[in-house]
Amino acid sequence: MVKTFNREARLHGHRVRYGSAGERGPLVVLIHGIASTSETWGPVLPLLGERHTVIAPDLLGHGQSGGGDGDYSLGAYATGVRDLLVALGRDRATLVGHSLGGGVAMQFAYQFPEMLERLVLVSSGGLGRELNVLLRSAALPGAEYVLPLLFAAGLPSAGTKIARLVDRVGFRAGSDLEEIGRGFASLGDTEARRAFIHTVRGLIDPSGQRVDARSRLYLAADVPMLIVWGARDTMIPVEHAHAAHRRVARSRLEVFEQAGHFPHLSEPHRFAEVLSSFIAETEPARMDPERLRKLLVHGSAPGQPQARRRRQQSGTARKR
């Protein structure tokens, strides 16, 4: 198994921390979810590094990366990923986004299509309204005042409290419960809590996700796309995966029947194999500017004939 490394870059005067593995093969960028860090990819990073060059950054305001100018929009996160690639001398990559990271990866595809070779969405946000009450409650007024109290000195372990809470709202024991508890416990850090609140408020309201990427999925029609989801995901329902798969012709869908919101943690070896096979079996996209212009001007939306044809041509999901 290859070694993994923790590295740093300086962008716009701020620190950006990223994990890396491998020095050969196509570049793969792993983008974590909200209240998480690059460490969520720890089990799969060395596995993927055997055949690829892999980097996994801490997003702005997460982990050991600075918060920049305080802009925690999807556009800012996507630009941060672009800036890191440019700083490392890389101009193209396969992007793999988990949860919030899936939304960031899709935003990257819209903003920088010339830099995207493949798109991989893992339990991704931005594909439907439904969302677990845990994140919806974080969008309620006053959440920014409640979170500091949870982590105030003298209270019992915040991680233990959070783990008990997520257990009550439907998460199964195991990788989901552990990772969600770890992520929310990280909000004891002021900058991480600030990034979390601003990100949530920009993407979620008390009734669910309010940023919807589905109407633009046709722009990725020429990009190889893999969708990976856990059938037992209680954060974002697996129905979102099936709906996105139907919308994008030639997309691939892999449903991990025993996994929840973190299929890459539940079954890291299988996840790495699925991703590596997908990369090996697909040609990287090459976005033609004229083709992009025509898509933007004449592109179809849900309900139009062209969109219906793509849905009818959609491949078959594979369940294991």
Catalytically active residues, by annotation: 99, 233, 261
Cα of first residue to Cα of last residue in the chain, in angstroms, is: 26
- Tokens representing residue 129 in the block: 């309204």
Buried b (16+ CB within 10 A) or exposed e, 144-172: beebeebbeeeeeebbeebbebbeeeebb
C-alpha to C-alpha distance for 112 and 69, rounded to whole angstroms: 21
Q: Minimal CA–CA distance to 278: which of 31, 48, 43? A: 48
Cα–Cα distances (Å) from 64 to 60, 92, 226, 271, in that order, read 9, 25, 29, 26
105 touches 126 (CB < 8 A): no
Amino acid found at 317: A
C-alpha to C-alpha distance for 56 and 103, rounded to whole angstroms: 16
- Tokens representing residue 61 in the block: 């305001």
